[in-house]
Amino acid sequence: MKTKAISILGCTGSIGVQTLDLVRHYPDAYNVIGLAAGKNITLLKKQLLEFKPKIVSISHVNDAKELTLFCKENSLMITIEHGEKGLETICKNPVDLLVMAIVGTAGIKPTYIAIQNKIPIALACKEVLVSAGDLIIALAKKNNVPLIPVDSEHAATQQCLATQNTIAPIIKTITLTASGGPFWTLPHSEFKDITKEKALKHPTWSMGNKISIDSSTMVNKGLEIIEAHHLFNISYDKLKVSIHRQSIVHAIVEFIDGNILAHLSPTDMRFPIQYALDYPYKKQTKFKGLDINKLSALTFEEPDNTRFPLLNIAIEAGKQKGSYPAVFNAANEAIVTLFLQDKLTFLQIHTFIEDILAKFNHFIPKTIEDIIDIDTQIKHDILQTT
Ligand code: MG
C-alpha cells in the first residue's frame, strides 16, 4: 500500500488524537499534510514537532501568531493559518483522505468544501449528516466523493453490507447498538440528581465531552440513526436501536432472507478509525484484539423511551426532514454546552429541546448557507437567553 496523504480537522480532539496515534504506529503508511485545531495550542505544538505537517490552522488569530513564532524557533517549515479561512485552505489542499473530526456543526462547511474539491472524507462528525445530510450526500454523489464512516456503528454496518453484491432492496433491518450510557440502570426518580461529572463517565467508551453527554441522554444514538439513514440510503422504518451494554457488537444487519450479520470489535475507536484510514484495504492491527472465549454474555435489550425520550425525538426530527434535524441538532449542541456549564439540569435538556423544536418556524433548507443560518440562529437564541 502506498503512503496515504492525510489531513485531520479536529486534531486535538478525541478522534484526532487517536488518528495521530495510528499514524505514530504506522509511520510509513500515512503522511500528515494538514492539521486543524480549535483552542488546544499546547497539544497542537507537540503534534507539530512529532508529525511535521505542511499546513496548520488554529481557530484564533493570536494562537496563529504564537504558532508562527514557535515554528520559527523550532525550524519547522509549516504554513500557519487561522479561523474559517484556515479550515478552507486545508479542505482545498489535495490529499488522499481528509479526517473530519471537528465537534458538531462546525464541520458542515469544511466538509462541503472538501467534497466540492473532490477530496475523500473519513467522517467522524455525525452532526454534518444530521443537519445537512440531503445536501452533503447529493454533492458527494455528484462529485463521486467517498464518505467513509468513522463512527463505530456505521463502520460496522458498512463492513456487514460489503459482504453483499447488491445493497438496499435486500436489507430487512439495520440495528445500531447503544451501550445505554452511564444511567441505563438508574431509576427515573434519581435523574433529577444527575450532575455533569456523572454524565461524563461513560461506562465503555473513552470519548469527548459533547458525545459523552449525548450518550448519557441517548441523543447520540438518535443522531446516529439519522446518519445511517443518509449514509446507507435506507428508510427510517428499517433502522433499529438495541441496548447492548458490552459495546462489543456495533451493528447488526438482517437481510430479507432471514440471514443476519453482526460486526464485533474491541471497544477501542482506533479500530473504526483504522478501517476508515485504510478503506478499501485492510492491514495487520497493532492493537489488542478480541478474545472471543473471554467474552462474557452479550446482551441485547429494547431502548427505554420513558427514561430516555430524546432518542425518539431525534429520530422523529430526522423523519420530518427539512429544517427539523438541523434545529434538533443545533438545539442539542447549545443545550449540552449549557449543561456542561452547570446552567441547566439533566432533565431540562429534554424539555428545552422539545420546546425549541415546537416553536421554530420550519421550512425546507435549499443550500448549505440555509442550514448554517438555522444553526447559528438557534444557538444564538439559546445561548443569549439562558
Ligand atoms: Mg457511535
CB atoms within 10 A of CB 370: 16
Question: CA-to-CA distance for 116 and 383, rounded, in angstroms?
Answer: 32
The Å distance, Cα 353 to ligand 1 centre, comes to 21
**CA 152 to ligand 1 center in whole angstroms:** 5
Regions in the chain scoring below 50 on pLDDT: none
Distances (CA, A) of 7 to 4, 11, 24, 180, 237: 10, 9, 14, 33, 36
Q: How far, in Å, is the centroid of ligand 1 from the Cα of 372?
A: 24
Ligand 1 centroid – CA 36 distance (Å): 22
* 156 CA → ligand 1 middle, Å: 10
- Distance of CA 298 to CAs 221, 254, 346, Å? 19, 18, 29
What is the torsional sign of CA 121, 127, 130, 132?
Answer: negative
pLDDT of residue 206: 72
> CB within 5 A of ion ligand 1: which residues?
151-153
Q: Please give the biggest Cα pair distance in the chain.
A: 64
Q: How far is the CA of 223 from the centre of ligand 1 (A)?
A: 9
The answer to whether 100 and 122 have CB atoms below 8 angstroms apart is yes
Cα R_g (the chain), whole angstroms: 20
Distance CA 251, CA 262 (A): 6
Say how many Å lie between the CA of residue 153 and the centre of ligand 1: 5
What distance in angstroms lies between residue 207's CA and the mean position of ligand 1's atoms? 10
Residues 300/242, Cβ–Cβ less than 8 Å? yes
Instruction: Give pLDDT, residue 1.
Output: 73
Predicted local distance difference test score (pLDDT) of residue 334: 96
Q: How far is the CA of 384 from the centre of ligand 1 (A)?
A: 30
* Domain range list for the chain: 4-145, 154-321
Q: What angle is formed at CA 188 by the lines to CA 182 and CA 191, rounded to 5 degrees?
A: 60
- Distance between Cα 227 and ligand 1 center (Å): 10
CA of 224 relative to ligand 1 center, distance in Å: 7
Angle, helices 83-92/108-116, rounded to nearest 10 degrees? 30
Q: How far is the CA of 151 from the centre of ligand 1 (A)?
A: 5
State the distance from the centre of ligand 1 to the C-alpha of 226, rounded, in angstroms. 12
Task: Give residue 168's pLDDT.
Answer: 65
pLDDT at 34: 98
Tell me, in angstroms, the distance from the centre of ligand 1 to residue 229's CA.
Answer: 14
pLDDT, residue 167, reads 66
Distance 155 CA to ligand 1 centre (A): 9
Superfamily of domain 4-145: NAD(P)-binding Rossmann-like Domain (3.40.50.720)
Cell of 367: 443550500
Q: What is the pLDDT of residues 120-171, one digit of tens each?
A: 999 999 999 999 999 999 999 999 999 999 999 999 999 999 988 776 689 9
- Look at residues 200, 158, 191 and name the one whose alpha carbon lies nearest to residue 308: 191
